[in-house]
Amino acid sequence: MHKRARAKAHAGIRKRAIRRELLGNWLGPLLVAVALAAAHMLGIFAQTDGRFFDEVTVNQSGIAPNVVVIERDAEFEALGDARFTALNASLSTLGAERIGYLGADNLLPASSEIPVVIGVPAKPLPANQRWELRGDTSVFGSARIAARSLAPSQYGINRTQTAALPGRDTPIPVFDAALADRYPADGEFLVPTPRRQSIPVLKASQLTSGQIQAGELNGLVAMVVDPQALRGTLATPLNPSSSATSEAVFRAHVVNALRGGQFGYEAHVWQVWVLLLAFAALLAVLYRETDPKRLAVLIPVSFSLMILAACWAVLVFTGKLLPVSALLLAPWIITFQRVVERETSQDRRLERTASRAVQTSFDRSALREGARLPKFLGSAAEYAGVERSLLVQLTPSGELEAVAANNATLDDIRIDRKRLNRILKDVRESLGVRNAAEIVPGWSGDARIGWVGAGDQQLFWLHTRPVTATPGKSAHLVRAIATSFRELFRWRADLNARGSREHRNQPIDDRVASAIALVANESEQVRRGFDTIDTAVIIFHLIGSPLHANEAMHSLYEEAGLNLFDTSLSEALLALTELGPNRVQALIEDLMLNGSEMRLPMRNLGETDRQSERMLRIAAPARNAHGANRVLVLEAIDMRDANRAADLRKAVAKFIDLQLRNDFEAILLGSQLACDKRLGSDQVREVASRISDTARRATGRLDEVASLVRSETSDLTEACYPVDATAIIRDAIARAAGLAEELGVTIDADHPGVSGFTLAEPVALTEMLVAMLRVVIADTPHGGSVKLKLEELQGRTHIRISGGFGIGFDRLLWLIANYEDGAVGEYRMIGEGMAKVTSWSASVSYWGSQSNGFGFNVDLRGVG
């Protein structure tokens, strides 16, 4: 069942991924390609494509002319009826291949030595797409009759021509094609008109008068035109802005192009579609592998240049005009589409992430209950010393409502409504705080009003200035509270109130900014709180990399010589515990799998760690054990206090044990004696009195330590209790022995073999004695000795440390008395110890004189 659900979930994820892949990466670019192809088909890009064709072809170099234009000049027209026969004969002599007459004339001869083409006007057949030639063409004998027609101009510019018109039965050749005797497969073709193309124009009279030498027109076709046809009437690529090109010259270009194979075609429909779709697919693949936003300029620019170059090359070398405009637009539109798509998806992702972050923050903070925020404001203000506080809300209907009040009501507001509205508007717009005496005249003290709302929430806070012993600090606190409240409220409004129209239209950036601000703010607060914890804590990611550590853990890592940022959990455990690599690995594995908790003794980190008895607690909270966000927490718990309390209780127990044993012995003996008949009544009374003395003494001893037994561990940190003074002396000697050995000094100790009980706090006493020993040792010449004597007198324990070359008493006094200011090391510890001993009913005295040594007397209370 579980497997099936998981498979279903995986299938769902796969389906979503495929859909995202198809929609995001492929569909968009392909739709753009389809739209561009359709626009191309509709002729939207005809003008720009034509301009491209013009720019390329007009600047091309020309070819050797294939055609010569012959003007029927006035001199020729005056030659009489046989002039056309003479012209035909001359052209034949000159080597012309074909003669084309642009326009019919009844005098044209019925036959000629070279082929003749006559261009006559054509007219469309009614209600038909077909054409027929005007007039009777049979009179022209063997001459080929062609239509004198031009293809329609493109946006006023003539750059195309057709090879033939659909006739009634058969196609009617167009004059230019017939003269060139070339019929391109596609009916309509593009006519390049290079500016440098030479089109020779001769007068017919020159030919008939024999001015041109024979063979001069070899291989050329002659286009005989009337002067009318040489007048500029067409706008062509040569002069696109004016009708300056003559029909004869344009047709000469057509004939020249056809005969020279220079004519071009527009790309076929299917070619346009294939080209655009392939190009879109190429861009889709490219953007799938790269970031469209980062390459938003580079790719379109470079592709545009490549397209221009490719289209130019194709046009020049194959005569094919590609859909250059659509191709040029494609990279820009597809890039835009991909960037928008990416931004939209990023916005969605950001919003989801922000929502999750905010939800987490809400769940863990006071923000979860937005409605309670005003109450928090009220209590915070009260702590800051604000006597009167009134949080009011201006409802959409313009009514005022009290949201939270402290020692104030809405009735306190006594101001004209219009004036109030104006003040509220000013306050909101300025986001500031202003005097509110005229709003709440009944309030004593300095009344203020400030805006603390957000979005639709029109919240205003009326309050008095705090009255405390430190008004400056309190006022600052109140300002901080108001600012903090306003920010919290704004973030909450930004992020949580999705329903309102205003927030639906709010840019995602604002919402994300609010989320980041909220999370960052909360994270900072949590971090600061975290740093105040004495216990050293570090949180590791599931993979063992460190996530966050508090100040205490920073110090601990420093102490252990570890780098906080690149030490893994296993490395940290190896450094901080005595465990070997295998055990550490097994431990981490178990924690990760089962989410349990373990405690390990921490390695001693050296001299500075002497007094620190720490335990490492490593835990992977079980409730997070199976989540992706699981963490491992390493905590170094300082056991000093707990151990100290345990030591104290052990010492107290020992004290009670030994003292009561003594007292019970006395009671046993006394009881036995009291029953002994050999004793007289006076002696029995004496014994009974001793029994009761013993009982009282035992009770007194129990009372003496009762507070220690019953106190909380936290209260025992610096408590004094009955300790074994000899053991403390031995410890102090052991700790000072290193320095003594280093300086060649011996410590002569004199202490009882068995010690009674002395009232002290052992850690502080030991620290002080070690410091005393060290300063005396340091002052003692090599080979000298330091004396330490522990003497247990009735009710007192006396410790005397002496030796050294000697320090003047004034100097010694200054060093110890000023320990808080300047003294360092041992003298500071002695001073601190002296400050503590008074609470144990003990005292410390010292003496010293130059070259006569110096010393310390510690007088402690003995308790048995």
**754: contact with another protein by CB under 8 A:** yes
Q: Pick between residue 63 and residue 702 the one whose CB is nearest to another protein.
A: 702
Query: Is residue 862 within the footprint of another protein (CB under 8 A)?
Result: yes
Long-range contacts of 706-713 (CB under 8 A, 24+ apart): 708/648, 708/649, 708/652, 709/649, 709/652, 713/641, 713/642, 713/645
Residue 855 interacts with another protein (CB under 8 A): yes or no: no
CB of 176 closer than 8 Å to CB of 251: yes
Select from 87, 792, 836, 854 the one that contacts another protein (CB under 8 A).
792
> Contacting another protein (CB under 8 A), which of 694, 758, 780, 802?
694
Regarding 794 and contact with another protein (CB under 8 A), the answer is yes
Closer CB to another protein, 227 or 864, in the complex: 864
Q: How far is the CB of 595 from another protein (least distance, A)?
A: 48
Nearer of residues 369 and 657 to another protein, judged by Cβ: 657
Residue by residue, DSSP assigns 772-823 as HHHHHHHHSPTT-EEEEEEEEETTEEEEEEEESS---HHHHHHHHHTTTTT-
Report H helices in 505-639: 508-531, 551-560, 569-576, 581-594
| Phi, psi at 171, each rounded to 5° | -60, 145
Q: Which two tokens stand for residue 108?
A: 């044209």
Cβ closest to another protein, residue 78 vs residue 793: 793
Q: Which is nearer to another protein, 218 or 672 (CB)?
A: 672
d(CA 855, CA 816) in angstroms, rounded, equals: 13
Nearer to another protein, 631 or 666 (CB): 666
Q: How far is CA 277 from the centre of its chain?
A: 36
Q: By rule CB under 8 A, what count of residues binds another protein?
A: 34
Q: Is 592 in the site for another protein (CB under 8 A)?
A: no
> Tokens 């490492």 map to which residue?
616
Half-sphere exposure of 746 (CA within 13 A, CB side): 6
Judged by CB, which is closer to another protein: 522, or 792? 792
Q: Are 172 and 131 in contact (CB under 8 A)?
A: yes
* Contact with another protein (CB under 8 A) among 254, 358, 452, 687: 687
State the minimum distance, in angstroms, from the CB of residue 756 to another protein: 5
What are residue 780's phi and psi, to 5 degrees?
-90, 135
Q: Cα(522)–Cα(531) distance, rounded to whole angstroms? A: 14
3-class secondary structure per residue, 698-735: HHHHHHHHHHHHHCCHHHHCCCCEEEEHHHHHHHHHHH
Interface region with another protein, contact rule CB under 8 A, candidates 185-193, 214-222, 373-381, 749-757: 749-757
Q: Applying CB under 8 A, which part among 387-395, 519-527, 751-759, 821-829 lies near another protein? A: 751-759
State which residue, 266 or 663, has the beta carbon closest to another protein. Answer: 663
Q: Between 672 and 852, name the residue whose CB sits nearer to another protein.
A: 672
Contact, 121 vs 175, CB < 8 A?
A: no
Cβ proximity to another protein, 49 vs 792, nearer residue: 792
Query: What's the rounded Cα separation, in Å, for the pair 404 and 374?
Result: 6
Among 160, 256, 755, 780, binds another protein (CB under 8 A): 755
Amino acid at 422: R
Strands (E), 430-528: 433-435, 447-451, 459-464
> What is the nearest approach in angstroms of another protein to the Cβ of residue 709?
19
Region from 71-79, 407-415, 683-691, 831-839 binding another protein, contact rule CB under 8 A = 683-691
Burial class (CB in 10 A: 0-12, 13-18, 19+), 648: buried
Least CB distance from residue 752 to another protein, whole Å?
4
Closest distance of CB 667 from another protein, Å: 8
The β-bridge partners of 460 are: 392, 451
CB of 731 to another protein, least distance (A): 19
Q: Could you tell me which stretch among 55-63, 197-205, 270-278, 752-760 binds another protein (CB under 8 A)?
A: 752-760
SS3 843: strand
> Per rule CB under 8 A, is residue 793 in the interface with another protein?
yes
User: Which of 628, 753, 782, 824 is close enough to bind another protein by CB under 8 A?
Assistant: 753
Q: Write out the binding residues for another protein, residues 643-682 only, by CB under 8 A.
A: 657-659, 661-662, 664-670, 672-673, 676, 678-679
- The nearest distance, CB 753 to another protein, in angstroms, is 3
Site string for another protein, 550-569 (x = CB under 8 A): --------------------
- In angstroms, what is the minimal distance from the CB of 772 to another protein? 23
Q: Is 683 in the site for another protein (CB under 8 A)?
A: yes
Between residues 318 and 692, which has the closer beta carbon with respect to another protein?
A: 692
Query: What is the largest distance, in Å, between two alpha-carbon atoms of the chain?
Result: 193
Burial class (CB in 10 A: 0-12, 13-18, 19+), 851: exposed
Q: 475, 449 in Cβ contact below 8 A?
A: no
The one among 342, 617, 697, 861 contacting another protein by CB under 8 A: 697
Q: What are phi and psi of 797, to 5 degrees?
A: -125, 125
**Does 698 engage in binding with another protein (CB under 8 A)?**
no
Closer by beta carbon to another protein, 41 or else 688: 688
- For the bound state, the minimum distance from the C-beta of residue 819 to another protein, rounded and expressed in Å, comes to 32
Residues 39-98 that bind another protein (CB under 8 A): none
749 touches another protein by CB under 8 A: no
> 147: closest CA among 160, 128, 130, 159?
130
Of 344 and 699, nearer to another protein (C-beta) is 699
Of 262, 267, 266, give the one whose Cα is nearest residue 194: 262
Listed in order, strand segments (DSSP E) in 525-610 are 536-541, 546-549, 597-601
Answer for the pair 163, 150: CB distance below 8 angstroms, yes or no: no
b/e sequence 292-309, b meaning 16+ C-beta within 10 Å: beebbeebbeebbeebee
Taking the complex as a whole, how short is the minimal distance between the CB of residue 727 and another protein, in angstroms?
Answer: 13
| Closest CB to another protein among residues 735, 787 | 787
Tell me the DSSP string of 55-91: HHHHTS------EEEEE--HHHHTT-TTHHHHHHHHH
Task: Say if CB 761 and CB 840 are below 8 A apart.
Answer: yes
744 binds another protein (CB under 8 A): no
**Span interacting with another protein, options 365-373, 482-490, 612-620, 785-793, rule CB under 8 A:** 785-793
> Among candidates 723, 719, 665, which has minimal Cα distance to 864?
723
**Assigned token pair, 697:** 């003494």
Give the burial class of 414: count Cβ atoms within 10 A of its Cβ; 0-12 exposed, 13-18 middle, 19 or more buried: exposed
Query: Based on CB atoms, which residue is closest to another protein, 514 or 659?
Result: 659
729 binds another protein (CB under 8 A): no
Nearer to another protein, 669 or 778 (CB): 669
**Which of 198, 222, 214 shows the shortest CA–CA distance to 62?**
198
φ/ψ of 748, rounded to 5, equals -90, 110
Stretch of 50-58, 157-165, 247-255, 688-696 contacting another protein, by CB under 8 A = 688-696
Q: Is 693 in the site for another protein (CB under 8 A)?
A: yes
Question: Judged by CB under 8 A, does residue 205 bind another protein?
Answer: no
Which C-beta is closer to another protein: that of 398 or that of 753? 753
CB of 796 to another protein, least distance (A): 8
Which residue, 188 or 657, is less far from another protein as judged by CB? 657
Q: Which of 752, 781, 822, 825 binds another protein (CB under 8 A)?
A: 752
Q: How far is the CB of 675 from another protein (least distance, A)?
A: 10
- Residues that bind another protein in the complex, under the rule CB under 8 A: 657-659, 661-662, 664-670, 672-673, 676, 678-679, 683, 687, 690, 693-694, 697, 752-756, 791-794, 862, 864
